[in-house]
Amino acid sequence: MAVCLRTSRAIINSLQSKVGLLSMISQSSCWSSLTHHREPPFSSLKAQNVRDPDANFCDKATLYSSRRFESVKTEKQFNSPDDVDHYQILDFPGGKVAFTSEMRFISESPVERAHCYRVLDNDGQLILCSKFKKVSEEMAIKMYSDMVTLQTMDAFFYEAQRQGRISFYATTIGEEAINIASAAALTIDDLVFPQYREPGVLLWRGFTLKEFANQCFGNKADNGKGRQMPIHYGSNKHNYFTVAATIATQLPHAVGAAYSLKMDRRNACVITYFGDGGTSEGDFHAALNLAAVREVPVIFFCRNNGWAISTPTTDQFRSDGVVVKGRGYGIRSIRVDGNDALAIYSSVHAAREMAISEQRPILIEALTYRVGHHSTSDDSTKYRPVDEIEWWRSARDPVARFRKWIESNGWWCSEAESELRNSVKTQLLQAIQEAEKIEKSPLAELFTDVYDVPPSNLSEQEKLLRETIRRHPQDYPQDVPI
């Protein structure tokens, strides 16, 4: 028995010596272990060059590789031979994990829901001790003006569709703050991968009302040459990738673009928008995982507006919304009041700084409400109560809330309000009337801009389409040049 005890102690002493040696090597080598709850890998670089996240890029590459080749070993540290099980630790890739003799499952939900960051209350007053990114008078007025413009544009184009002048439309009513305030916190160099309810981001960047009208009417002045449905905007010069109706497909694309920015050492990030329904798509999970593993500068912005067409969030997931999903993938996350323009602006501004300076993805969940119907093809009163819609329209209107705040600062008045709204209405009427008169793109444009020399199957499709139109002219629009 004494021999066994002496042997055990000798083994323990040997292990302690090896562990100590490994520790010394670890401290003097670039191959040190990096835990999951680690300091940002580039935090030490910030003091050298905050505006240039690509400084010491070779050092970053070393850090990346170190995580991929961490060894798997069991490390034992004892105070005495009787404490073996209690102090056993597994040094596993991603960080050290302590063992426990207690069988304990992680709860499916937290005791308390994740808090929601806000700056303005429902009456547009600053919440006591609130912390936010300051905005100038000029910035605040532009934000408000664009929110009003977006709101008015929605009303005009929605009516145009109801009159049969355009084929489809989807509004952003109730989500104006998300559109404009998030755009205001970005720079023109940041790439935007939208869903289909973010035209305000494009508006902020300088896309004109005429350009919006040209796209909705699908005329030859449209950037997409009339190939897309209305509201499927895109603009290369504004770094706004063309909208795709397929849900969540933009998310992996955004991660790839962010990885490209990282490789090119650009001082910019990517932002991609999606709804709560998009989190049920596999692309959402694949995108978050890839972004976290590759540590790319991308902001995932979820507009949790309660409804994915007629599907409520209660049928979408059982988690505490979307914000908690970030932790599962190792992504820093925040929940924000989506109807508070200052909270949105501040959170996106901070997210952008972290994404670029620390080369990491960020997840933002904005709690809001889709006041309008999902689209002109939907009647939301069939699946949600009218009084609920009206309460959000009146009590939680983000445009009215922000107006109260700028008025309280002495930056806005009734005269300015009247002048703005009259001006926007005049511009919209003119844009719609002009877009409606512009000729449609010729039929041949359906088959261009993909191949230098069209393949035989595409030429055959064009030939078949022309023959079909010739046989059934009554089924095709007369204003499209053949």
162: tokens are 């109801």
Determine the Cα–Cα distance for residues 429 and 159; give it in Å rounded to an integer.
12
DSSP SS3 for 96: strand
Catalytic residue among 6, 9, 383, 470: 383
- 349 as an active site residue: the answer is no
Q: Radius of gyration over alpha carbons of the chain, in Å? A: 28
Determine the Cα–Cα distance for residues 196 and 179; give it in Å rounded to an integer.
11
Determine the Cα–Cα distance for residues 473 and 350; give it in Å rounded to an integer.
56
DSSP per residue, 170-191: ---TT-HHHHHHHHHTS-TTSE
Catalytic residue among 197, 374, 401, 403: 374
CA separation, residue 373 to residues 21, 22, 169, 247, 393 (Å): 66, 62, 10, 18, 12
- 383 as an active site residue: the answer is yes
Determine the Cα–Cα distance for residues 275 and 283; give it in Å rounded to an integer.
13
Helix axes 398-408 and 176-184, enclosed angle (nearest 10): 50
Cβ–Cβ < 8 Å for 362, 299:
yes
Helix axes 176-184 and 137-162, enclosed angle (nearest 10): 140
Determine the Cα–Cα distance for residues 232 and 198; give it in Å rounded to an integer.
10
Catalytic residue among 370, 373, 401, 403: 370
- Please count the other Cβ atoms lying within 10 Å of the Cβ belonging to residue 354: 17
Tell me the residue type at 144.
Y
CA-wise closest residue to 327 among 301, 374, 361: 361
Cβ–Cβ < 8 Å for 369, 305:
yes
CA-wise closest residue to 178 among 204, 153, 157, 160: 204
HEC per residue, 264-299:
CCCCCCEEEEEEHHHHHCHHHHHHHHHHHHHCCCEE
Determine the Cα–Cα distance for residues 370 and 392; give it in Å rounded to an integer.
9
- 37 as an active site residue: the answer is no
Residues with catalytic function? 370, 374, 383
